[in-house]
Amino acid sequence: MQRSLFAPALVLLGSAAVVGTAVASQYLGGLEPCVLCYYQRYPWYAVIALMLAALVLGGRARAALLGLAALLFAAGAVMGAYHVGVEHRLFAGPASCGSVTIDAGSIEALRAQLIGKPVVRCDQPAWSLFGISMAGYNLVASLAMAALAARLARREWQARGWKSAA
């Protein structure tokens, strides 16, 4: 693999591993995610799309996309920290956490809808390892990937001999 493709490929593989783990825990492990869990996946999905573009593009675009990935990971870390705070009752979760949207025209339809939808609360972790929930691991992974993407973006920028704006 060319050296210039290494950085976006590394970030892409790391992001795919995290998303793959989350999706596998949902569909294979039976861990139903709450709304905050879904929100925490969005930066990972966006970074996957950006890194696919970075593999095709080159030069400044690649460095800029790596920098944007670092910012998205930082945003993901903020979402992860918020979710951990909700789990530890430091913050109130959004109203959509733990509620079921009711859209039924009859008693039978309402019953079927309520039975068919599990209530997943944001303040009760579905799984933890060593006392750390999946939201906590997402926070750690997001911080690590933010640092990695920022370092790779800077290295990509400097390898081309470009001067930074600062």
**Count: domains in the chain:** 1
Closest CA to 135 of 68, 166, 90, 95: 90
Q: Is residue 62 part of a domain?
A: yes
CA 80 to chain centre: 8
**Residue with more model confidence, 95 or 18:** 18
pTM for the predicted model, two decimal places: 0.79
Q: What's the whole-number mean pLDDT along residues 5-12?
A: 92
Residue at 166 is within a domain: no
Measured in whole angstroms, the distance separating CA 154 from the mean position of its chain's CA atoms is: 22
Over residues 133-150, the pLDDT tens digits come to: 888 899 999 999 999 999
- Give a yes or no: residue 11 inside a domain: yes
Helix, strand, or coil (residue 71): helix
57 occurs within a structural domain: yes
Q: Which of 17, 5, 9 is nearest to 44 (CA)?
A: 17
Domain containing residue 81? 3-92+99-159
Domain contains 53: yes
Give me the pLDDT at residue 90, please: 85
> How does pLDDT run across 55-89, given as a tens digit for each residue?
998 778 898 999 999 999 999 999 999 988 888 88
Task: Give me the amino acid identity at 72.
Answer: L
pLDDT tens, 83-131?
888 888 888 777 777 655 556 677 777 666 666 566 677 777 777 778 8
**In terms of C-beta density within 10 A (0-12 exposed, 13-18 middle, 19 or more buried), how is residue 166 classed?**
exposed
